[in-house]
Amino acid sequence: MSDPVKTIVVVGAGTMGSGIALTAAQSGLRAVQIDLSAAQLDKARGYHTKQLARLVEKQKMSAEDAAAAASRISYGADFDAFKDADCVIEAASENPQVKKKLFRAFAETFASDALLATNTSSISITDIATATGARASQVIGMHFFNPVPVMKLVEVIRGLATSDESVARTLDLARAMGKTPVLANDRAGFVSNRVLMPLINEAFYAWMEGVAEPHDIDQIMVLGCNFPMGPLRLADFIGLDVCHDIMMVLYRELGDAKFFPCPKLRQLVTAGRLGNKTNLGVFDYSPKA
Ligand code: NAD
């Protein structure tokens, strides 16, 4: 049996990767934040500093603990320098080619017993694992939710070749990060996005067909269905490009037209209106708004 995970290399420093690295560091683990983009690494570092300062301000964490958590995170452009880590969590773009290329490199880089996890929202774990050859038993889906420091769920997905040991290690790791892991099987979108994405897509159709304005669509779902946030606001929060890419995986894999992204969603993505991360999506998040 392998030891519990102590150091996680997090590949991708965007919305999810930055949250995973912060949560790991807050839980006493070492985290290495990797991204190709220096700007994204800077943004992640700024986010970590701000979040930890906020916890100190709210007296939810001592200044010493916040400083210790910050010191457990390192940043870099290349994971080659961290090959002794016992776990890697990939949180790069939702694109099968990007992920398979990364997993091929992971199998060549990390120790023979390292856990190779992906935060994919929809792509087959079995398919990603094919890129690792003989290491497929160590590949697993570890699907965190946004914002990672707040959301309790981790959807854990085993591929066809994932070993019982990798599942047990992942469940332990999720719990060590203060999360509640729940198992799902390896079908496109697993449970969460298979159920959520058609709802978001339908909200875009309701907007496009003039059934109601975005604010009213969201308010109806919040007040009428007791949702904490409307589907259009949630789509902005997830990232409209990420929603689009997840829907395309669901459409291709499950072959059902209901998953094909609504033209209104596609139009916003084409225009670069990606939601909170660009300050403009369905709604306007710029300071002036
Ligand atoms: P994002 O666009 O905010 O960030 C992706 C980051 O990956 C970018 O910083 C990009 O520079 C980096 N990247 C791309 N290719 C890379 C490579 N080869 N090496 C290193 N870095 C690379 O995306 P996100 O919202 O953080 O999503 C990341 C993953 O998490 C996706 O698979 C997504 O489906 C999944 N996910 C997203 C959410 C969400 O709410 N946004 C929730 C759960 C899971």
What does the DSSP 8-state code read for residue 212? S
What does the DSSP 8-state code read for residue 60? S
Run of H or E residues at 192: helix 192-208
**DSSP helix/strand/coil, 94:** coil
Residues with CB under 6 A from ligand 1: 11-17, 34-37, 40, 91-94, 98, 102, 119-121, 143-146, 238-239, 242, 246, 277
What does the DSSP 8-state code read for residue 133? G
Residue boundaries of the structural domains of the chain: 7-184, 194-278
Cα 249 to averaged position of ligand 1 atoms, centre (Å): 15
Return phi, psi of residue 116, to 5°: -115, 95
**Locate tokens 């990939």: which residue?**
90
Across all residues in the chain, what is the average pLDDT? Answer: 97
Residue 3: pLDDT band with limits 50, 70, 90: confident
Render pLDDT for 112-153 as a digit per residue (tens, 0 to 9). 999 999 999 999 999 999 999 999 999 999 999 999 999 999
User: Which DSSP string corresponds to 10-32?
Assistant: EE--SHHHHHHHHHHHHTT-EEE
Active site (annotated) includes residue 143: yes
CATH number of 7-184: 3.40.50.720
User: Domain spanning 194-278: which superfamily?
Assistant: N-(1-d-carboxylethyl)-l-norvaline Dehydrogenase; domain 2 (1.10.1040.10)
Check: pTM over 0.85? Answer yes or no: yes
